């Protein structure tokens, strides 16, 4: 790799603008960021600058053709249990195991994953999304998978001689591993939100499984210790429910769990200053263990906002329930029909830029934060 060494005082915003100078299309505009950290004069010592550090841009024609729009919405799927069943084995609509569609047959879940891939979605980690870091190839859309409760998501069959787990091929992680092997460019990943009983394979097994999971591209988050309705709890109870679960995760996989909570029953839906106890969902100290949450997930109905737009709220991220209802009542089919009808986030392939058509700029206040990214509009 070709590297250079230099020390200089730079204006960060003008430096990023300069990176564009050589490849800027006439119709492509770089918008000065309003992020104060990006416009202040900074003394920066750059020890090594890989030549690949420049931001990748495309022509307006290329953005237009691909429909790039990083202000549009992102599907965060909410699944629960995956059962070893065919769709014909259930009395409910297309692959639902229960009346409300919280649980899915293995046949339907596998078909869901293939369908998202065929529609041009590629998976990414929830924690990266919350950090505003969306790394999906040019022209593709991000897809985020989540599982709540842990039950039947990870079913252990035994252990290989090398210490790796053998999973039931029909459980969620068994199917995810199968799809991962089949589609190397799908970036298969998911976040599993657990309670104190973990995955119910026995505490010792689950501890070993969780270490394997975080080393193999999966994430584990907090679903409270006892699966309680936090909206009904006082501050001390919230601290116990949230803090005890983080403490347990920190013992099992220190520094490798995600500081994100899936709210049981989607409660509370709104935080608000009139309910100060809800602050304990986001920070507190339980038995000497300090914790923070950087985001909270609601239960499901629809797509989530781009993390860059004003409506985005990390305290109540929306999800899509992974179920079938004949294309009605916010099922998978209904949600993806809406997404695919001009509402889906389509990536420019560079996680360090925010690209969208200038026509989306009409209100002038669309950006909540730029996360230090370069903003690019096109006509």
CA distance 43 to 39: 12
CA distance 222 to 340: 31
Residue with smaller CB distance to Zn ion, 110 or 149: 149
Rounded alpha-carbon distances, angstroms, from residue 206 to 57, 69, 81, 150, 215: 45, 40, 17, 10, 14
Positions touching Zn ion (CB under 5 A) are 148-149, 264
Minimal distance in Å, beta carbon 149 to Zn ion?
A: 4
Residue with smaller CB distance to Zn ion, 102 or 116: 102
CA distance 74 to 121: 10
Minimal distance in Å, beta carbon 129 to Zn ion?
A: 20
Beta bridge partners of 30: 376
Minimal distance in Å, beta carbon 15 to Zn ion?
A: 46
Minimal distance in Å, beta carbon 290 to Zn ion?
A: 25
Peptide bond before residue 268 is cis, with ω within 30 degrees of 0: yes
Residue nearest Zn ion, Cβ-based: 148
Rounded alpha-carbon distances, angstroms, from residue 111 to 107, 123, 188: 6, 15, 15
List, in order, residues 6 or more apart from 232 with CB less than 8 Å away: 267
Minimal distance in Å, beta carbon 334 to Zn ion?
A: 23
Rounded alpha-carbon distances, angstroms, from residue 161 to 165, 267, 288, 321, 374: 9, 43, 39, 38, 49
CA distance 78 to 263: 12
Residue with smaller CB distance to Zn ion, 71 or 242: 242
Indicate left, alpha or beta for 258 from its phi (over 0: left) and psi (-120 to 50: alpha).
Answer: beta
List, in order, residues 6 or more apart from 17 with CB less than 8 Å away: 30, 32
Which burial class, exposed, middle or buried, applies to 40 when counting CB atoms under 10 A from its CB (0-12, 13-18, 19+)?
exposed
Give me the residue label for tokens 């249990």: 81
Residue with smaller CB distance to Zn ion, 193 or 282: 193
Minimal distance in Å, beta carbon 148 to Zn ion?
A: 4
Residue with smaller CB distance to Zn ion, 103 or 187: 103
Minimal distance in Å, beta carbon 335 to Zn ion?
A: 20
Minimal distance in Å, beta carbon 313 to Zn ion?
A: 21
Minimal distance in Å, beta carbon 11 to Zn ion?
A: 49
Residue with smaller CB distance to Zn ion, 148 or 331: 148
CA distance 243 to 104: 30
CA distance 194 to 295: 16
Question: At CA 24, angle to CA 23 and CA 26, rounded to 5?
Answer: 140
Output the CA torsion 284→371→299→258 (10° steps).
-50
Minimal distance in Å, beta carbon 2 to Zn ion?
A: 51
Residue with smaller CB distance to Zn ion, 297 or 376: 297
Residue with smaller CB distance to Zn ion, 199 or 312: 199
Residue with smaller CB distance to Zn ion, 210 or 262: 262
Residue with smaller CB distance to Zn ion, 201 or 306: 201
């Amino acid at each position: 790799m070709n590297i250079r060494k230099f020390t200089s005082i730079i204006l960060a915003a003008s430096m990023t603008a300069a990176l564009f100078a050589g490849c800027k299309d006439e119709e492509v505009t770089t918008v000065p960021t309003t992020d104060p950290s990006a416009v202040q004069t900074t003394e920066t010592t750059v020890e090594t600058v890989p030549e690949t550090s420049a931001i990748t841009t495309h022509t307006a024609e290329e953005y237009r053709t691909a429909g790039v729009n990083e202000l549009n919405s992102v599907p965060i799927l909410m699944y629960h249990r995956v059962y070893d069943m065919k769709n014909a084995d259930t009395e409910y609509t297309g692959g639902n195991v229960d009346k409300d569609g919280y649980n899915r047959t293995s046949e339907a879940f596998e078909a869901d994953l293939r369908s998202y891939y065929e529609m041009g979605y590629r998976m990414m980690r929830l924690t990266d999304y919350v950090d505003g870091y969306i790394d999906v190839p040019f022209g593709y859309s991000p897809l985020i998978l989540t599982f709540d409760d842990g039950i039947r998501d990870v079913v252990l069959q035994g252990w290989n001689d090398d210490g790796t787990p053998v999973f039931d091929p029909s459980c969620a992680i068994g199917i995810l591993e199968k799809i991962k092997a089949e589609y190397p460019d799908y970036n298969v990943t998911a976040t599993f939100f657990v309670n104190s009983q973990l995955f119910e394979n026995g505490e010792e097994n689950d501890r070993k499984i969780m270490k394997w999971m975080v080393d193999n591209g999966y994430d584990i988050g907090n679903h409270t210790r006892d699966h309680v309705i936090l909206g009904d709890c006082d501050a001390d109870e919230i601290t116990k429910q949230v803090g005890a679960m983080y403490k347990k995760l920190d013992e099992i996989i220190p520094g490798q769990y995600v500081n994100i909570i899936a709210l049981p029953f989607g409660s509370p839906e709104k935080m608000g200053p009139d309910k100060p106890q809800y602050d304990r969902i986001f920070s507190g100290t339980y038995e000497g263990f300090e914790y923070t949450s950087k985001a909270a997930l609601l239960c499901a109905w629809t797509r989530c906002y781009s993390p860059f737009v004003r409506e985005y709220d990390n305290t109540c991220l929306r999800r899509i329930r992974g179920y079938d209802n004949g294309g009605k009542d916010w099922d998978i089919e209904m949600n993806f029909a809406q997404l695919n009808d001009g509402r889906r986030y389509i990536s420019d392939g560079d996680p360090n830029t925010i690209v969208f058509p200038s026509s989306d700029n009409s209100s002038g206040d669309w950006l909540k934060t730029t996360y230090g990214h370069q903003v690019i509009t096109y006509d």
